[in-house]
Structure 1
Amino acid sequence: MKRSASRKTGQPNSNASVNSAADLFRSASSKASTKEQERIDNLFYSYANGSSGMIDPEGIEALCSDLEVDHTDVRILMLAWKLKAEKQGYFTLEEWRRGLKALRVDTVNKLKKALPELEKEVRRPTNFVEFYCYAFRYCLTEEKQKSIDIESICELLNIVLGSDFRVQVDLFVDYLKTQNDYKVINLDQWMGFFRFCNEISFPDLRNYDPQLAWPLILDNFVEWIREKQSLS
């Protein structure tokens, strides 16, 4: 009996070893996470305005320069979407942390390399609808603002949809700049044009039915196109 007890005492405690390894892993992981956040924060403060504590338009301009992209590049808007930025032209530290952690980047070079993958992510159909809606809301500059002026909408359409629906965007922009009925565009009209691009055959427009729930501005747009087509 004594020998049996001795054998048990001499066996290594496997549970203790596992727990110890787990503790070491958690400690190393925690340290790595802390270091990563430090790098993310340092990167933020290298662009942030010291007075406001945010990355402002000037800081975003500097970031774009370091990323070697134009400030009107759609990928900058996609980055804002990833950060879930709330105010146009500004990134807070919390938004910056959230977005860069999601992208798993903590340096400018890593962020630059991540932009193509971010664009692929955004262009997935389910994500793009969300991004398209976000683009409109992000450009609302005042808290209670619900519409955007025609000039800004035309610029935004070119940035967000220009590469996918060039002909439709060019025609709609042309129409918006020549018509006199609308001074601003609301979210329903903005989303309606996206649906138009995806659902309506172009350029014959044979499946456009004005009796369906289309915003009136699109009925007028289609009528304008048909008049142009009949004259050509």
Structure 2
Amino acid sequence: SEPYTSARALALFEKYVDADDSTAIGPVGLENLCADANIPMEGAMPLILAWQLGAKEMGRFTKDEWVEGTSNLKISSLSSLLSALSDLNNLLIFSKSPVKSNPKIDPYDRTTYLSYAKDTKSAFHKLYLFCFNLAKPEQSRNIDMETSAALWSVILSPKYPIMQEVLEYIGEKDGVYKATNKDLWTMMLEFCETVDPNLQGYESEEAWPTLLDEFVAWKKARSP
């Protein structure tokens, strides 16, 4: 891969900008970018990209966000972008061991990556909270449940087996739970971190959101 230059990074941005808005890459440009770079749209990598660019809107990157984010990571090619997102995906979503870094041959600047590798839990919490703020409409305090479930399926399910069952429960109760506020979003991660698939770690007297107490009752009722 060619070494990073800001001119190359900008040229890459300009290749994918919106037809009707030259100041941003929109949903179509993002899809084309991901397709060309072999970044799967259905996993967490587009969210990790938004996080690393400090995006303010779902599926949209401004020129300033792109220039600053790619400058921090020293990315100006599709292959280096794929490397950076794959590394973070493996580290934070799939809990794999950190890659060994060698600044002479690294495909991008791994300084940020290595700081996350020192405390993956804290880095994951940052990514998780970022996703709530990214998905939340500006005037709202909530994310609709369909969006929440889609995000949980890519961010939490690969890490925490119990999340798959929570999603099954939410799907079964279609329409009962309308939205996710910040408290439920935060507590969902805490629930996944403290409660195992056999419900070890769950204490009913703790102040879990209603959805989670009702999930536990549902799970107990269907377990022999």
More helix by share: 1
- How far apart are 1:67 and its partner, in Å? 1.1
Q: State TM-score, norm by structure 2.
A: 0.80
Matches within 5 A, 1:44-123: 44-52=13-21, 53-119=23-89, 120=91, 121=113
Structure 1: how far apart are the matches of 2:160 and 2:25?
Answer: 32
TM-score (norm 1): 0.77
- Aligned position for 1:7: none
Name 1:176's counterpart in structure 2.
170
> Per-residue CA shift, 1:83-122, capped at 9, x if unaligned?
0100001000111012111211111122122223333346
Kindly name which structure, 1 or 2, has the bigger radius of gyration based on alpha carbons.
Answer: 1
In structure 2, runs of 5+ residues without a counterpart are 92-112
Partner in structure 1 of residue 160 of structure 2 = 165
CA contact (8 A) 2:5 2:74 kept: no
In 2, the alpha carbon distance for the partners of 1:118 and 1:37 equals: 22
CA offsets, 1:119-175, max 9 Å, x none? Answer: 3346711110010111122112x2112212222222111111121113x12211111
The number of aligned residues is: 193
Report how far residue 73 of structure 1 moved.
Answer: 2.2
Q: What CA distance in whole angstroms lies between the structure 2 residues aligned with 1:153 and 1:50?
A: 30
Question: Cα distance, 1:50 vs. partner?
Answer: 4.1
Mean Cα deviation higher: 206-215 or 73-82: 206-215
Q: Pick which of 61-70 and 212-221 moved more.
A: 212-221
Partner of 1:41: 10
Aligned residue for 1:156? 151
**Conservation of the 8 A alpha-carbon contact between 1:100 and 1:106:** yes
Greater relative contact order structure (CA < 8 Å, 6+ sep): 2
Q: Which residue of 1 aligns with 2:181?
A: 186
Amino acid at match of 1:135: C
Structure 1 residue runs without a partner (length 5+): 1-34
1:21-36 equivalences in 2 (<5 Å): 36=5
Q: Residues of 1 paired with 2:124 and 2:187: CA distance?
A: 15
Is the Cα–Cα contact under 8 Å of residues 157 and 169 in structure 1 kept in the other structure?
A: yes
SS, match of residue 143 in structure 2: strand
Q: Which runs of 4+ in 1 moved over 3 A?
A: none
Query: 1:36-83 CA deviation, whole Å, 9 max, x = no partner?
Result: 222111111110114222100000001111111221221111011000
**Which of 104, 115, 126 does residue 130 from structure 1 map onto?**
126
